[in-house]
Amino acid sequence: MNYQDEFRDRTVVLGFAARIRELVAGRTVPMTFMEVCGTHTMSIYQYGLRSLLPPQVRLISGPGCPVCVTPNGYVDRAVALCRLPGVTVATFGDMVRVPGSSSSLIEERAKGADVRIVYSPLDAVTLAAKNPDRKVVFLGVGFETTAPTIAGSILAAKQQGLTNYFVLAAHKTIPIPMEVLADDPELQVDGYLCPAHVSVVIGAAAYRFLAEERGVPCVVTGFEPVDVMQGVEMLVRQVVEGKPRVEIQYSRVVKREGNRKAQGVIAEVLTPFDAPWRGIGVIPGSGLRIADAYAEFDAEKAIPVEVEETREHAGCLCGEILKGKVSPFDCPLFGGACTPESPVGACMVSSEGTCAAAYKYGQ
Amino acid sequence: MNKDLILLGHGSGGKLSHQLLDDLIIPTLSGISRAGQNDAAVVEHGGQRLAFTTDSYVVDPIFFPGGNIGGLAVNGTVNDLAMMGARPLFISVGLIIEEGFSRTELAEVLSSMRGAADAAGVRIVTGDTKVVPRGKADRIFINTSGVGAIEHSFAISGAGARTGDKVIVNGTIGDHGIAVMARREGLELETDILSDCAPLNGLVAEILAEAGEAVHVLRDPTRGGVATTLKEIALQSDKIITLHERALPLNGAVKGVCSILGLDPLYVANEGKLLAVVAPEAAERLLARMKRHPLGHGAAIIGEVGDGGGKVQMETAVGGVRAVEMLAGEQLPRIC
């Protein structure tokens, strides 16, 4: 057992596809399921899973890529910070190519800014410890998956007595926007493939209100093709039975109650706020900023900088794509003015963006 | 966005690199068309066909599991010559050393170059050394150029793929890129992944002896990996190449690191691998011969060539079909 090949087994995948076809046989009303995690989006495209589903089952991509939902204004502030003398910006790789209003971190790096790609916020803490004469700003982007590690990095910096480590926080939480999208009259979401790694932290119980109060089936699903196909089959079954509930397909990793310790670290260091989402706007209580008790680590408060006026990119449909209302192929910029090497919108730049997946793997 | 800036992605071997070549470098320098771009130039002089190539090496870290920049610089150029079906003969070495670099490490790099040259049967015949002030280079950069003799009359080039041809790779993919990346990022792995850095001219000699004119294309999938190289071949030959995901040889540890870092092994660099596009009737026989060679143990037929224009597609492990594109910029690790 190596925990990977078994979940890429062709026979098992095709078995689930056959069961899904049986379950919807004779149904004319289509059912639409939304995945709200970029890794699900990538997996669905990478393995060509849509081609294995019957026409009555439609998969759409939601706002599940943390880079894609980060608004231009955040990138503009990161760009402004990296231009300051004595500032090093450390970030996960996805962020460096995201275009802000007029520049990107990769462009600033080419002009001489100190922009470092790290694999963990603790690497950024180490960078700060080794360079006491520089201010190291880590870009705290991501959902509940990365929030505890970034909150933990602030605790580590505090413990080490560092005064030159900062986080520019733009964390998002996922259940609230799922509720917003479930309420959207233009969208018909018949079920959610709930994210895998986010759910490790927040637990499957976090989606109960969606199933119980709004009647939306939810299945916490893993990322491998077998996981995704089984997740879809479980959603189809719930719709057919008319009994919406929260199920865990990814039971080898996810528990109902989640990871209490990680939740504790988040609650200690971060606090909810009304966060702006690219293409969706401000969603009350959907973000996590640095709590006042840790304000000295908050780059936005501790390092004053003038940020350019935010401009949106004309013609970019990222916002509609993030809400699952249109497909990448409906965007007039897709594949022409907007490609992974010259992206206009964030959905194209992030490796987990819906447009990047559609462009790379085609359908 | 500022279009005037050269970005790291322009050196990735992927789409941006191609754009820079097509838009600026090739038109300014000589006006050769893209279709003629191979790993080495083929030139004729006094009735002798020669392959001529040059390459610069800037790897970080300079010492990595399975090799160092010195051996890499010799093997890389030997392989570029071998991919034209040439017998590598002579190599030049240009060293650009940063002030403050250690003599001990330099000695180790040079000794590795010597070892690689001996192993490949090439002679290092000329060179140049420059030292630049601290901070103006990253420890050591090496350029090697090479000349090889082409001793057969048929053409091996990226434009040579024909409908029905089989695509063969000589072993596991992505080892070099992941070995370097794991060392660079300080990833602590249970099993050390070694670079596959090796001279391929011996294996190429076997391939040509076995299959001769049935060999239509030889390429070493270095920067940009197997995906980018196959896309180049598909474009140059105006064909469609279909890959079979289940047939791709992949080391388990490389697969694991790629999963963790969110990288696709198809786009990861190799330094001891070749892709051979060969006539179908010769494929099985050639595969058997390759498997008997130390650098071909893990060889596999991974795909075939069909009619169509400049496309690569992959039949996925679970039976779906998807397009395979060139690497767009740098492969970046993902957030979660």
What residue of B is the nearest CA neighbor of A51? B320
Which residues of chain B lie closer than 8 angstroms to A66, CB-CB? 335-336
CB B187 within 8 A of CB B333: no
The CA–CA distances, whole Å, from B312 to B83, B204, B217 equal 21, 24, 16
* A63-93 pLDDT per residue, tens: 888 888 888 899 999 999 999 999 999 999 8
Backbone torsions φ then ψ of A33, nearest 5 degrees: -115, 140
Let me know whether A223 and A343 are in one domain: no
| A245: number of Cβ within 10 Å | 15
For residue A312, is it within any domain? Answer: no
Let me know whether A237 and A273 are in one domain: yes
* B28-45 pLDDT per residue, tens: 987 665 545 778 898 998
Let me know whether A68 and A158 are in one domain: yes
What HEC string does B37-86 produce? CCCCEEEEECCEEEEEEEEEECCCCCEECCEEHHHHHHHHHHHHHHCCCE
pLDDT at B183: 84
Backbone torsions φ then ψ of B321, nearest 5 degrees: -125, 140
pLDDT at A335: 87
| A363: number of Cβ within 10 Å | 16
Which residues of chain A lie closer than 8 angstroms to B5, CB-CB? 107, 110-111
Which positions ≥6 away from A263 have C-beta within 8 Å?
A148, A201, A202
On whether the pTM is more than 0.85, the answer is no
Let me know whether A54 and A171 are in one domain: yes
Query: Residue A142 is nearest to which of B317, B332, B335, comparing CB atoms?
Result: B335
Let me know whether A215 and A333 are in one domain: no
For residue A313, is it within any domain? Answer: no
* B93-120 pLDDT per residue, tens: 999 999 999 999 999 999 999 999 999 9
Let me know whether A80 and A175 are in one domain: yes
Let me know whether A119 and A37 are in one domain: yes
Q: Hey, is the C-beta of B244 within 8 angstroms of any chain A C-beta?
A: no
Containing H/E element for A125? helix A121-130
| A287: number of Cβ within 10 Å | 21
Three-state secondary structure call for residue B228? helix
Let me know whether A302 and A357 are in one domain: no
Let me know whether A214 and A340 are in one domain: no
Contact B334 A351 (CB under 8 A): yes
Cα torsion A143, A146, A148, A152: sign: negative
CB A156 within 8 A of CB A293: no
Three-state secondary structure call for residue A142? strand
Containing H/E element for A12? helix A10-24
What is residue B235's DSSP assignment? H
Among A5, A351, A355, A363, the strongest candidate for a mutation testing the B interface, having the largest count of B CBs within 10 A, is: A351
Q: Hey, is the C-beta of B9 within 8 angstroms of any chain A C-beta?
A: yes
* B238-294 pLDDT per residue, tens: 999 999 999 999 998 998 888 877 788 999 999 999 999 999 999 999 999 999 999
**How many domains is chain A partitioned into structurally?**
2
Residues 202-241 of A with CB under 8 A from B: 225-226
Q: For all residues of chain A together, what is the average pLDDT?
A: 92
Let me know whether A332 and A296 are in one domain: no
Domains of chain B: 40-150 (3.30.1330.10), 158-323 (3.90.650.10)
How many angstroms separate the CA atoms of A34 and A187, rounded?
10
Contact A361 B6 (CB under 8 A): no
Backbone torsions φ then ψ of B276, nearest 5 degrees: -115, 130
In our burial notation (b when 16+ CB lie closer than 10 A, e otherwise), range A155-165 reads: ebbeeeebebb
Residue B64 above 50 pLDDT?
yes
Q: Structure tokens of B231?
A: 């896309």
| A85: number of Cβ within 10 Å | 7
Confidence of residue B329 (pLDDT cuts 50, 70, 90): low
CATH number, domain containing residue A25: 3.40.50.11750
Task: For residues B213-220, give the mean pLDDT.
Answer: 96
Q: Is A121 exposed, middle or buried (CB count within 10 Å of its CB: 0-12, 13-18, 19+)? A: buried
Peptide bond into A30 cis (omega under 30): no
Residue A305 above 80 pLDDT?
yes
Let me know whether A250 and A334 are in one domain: no
Range of the domain at A59: 1-307
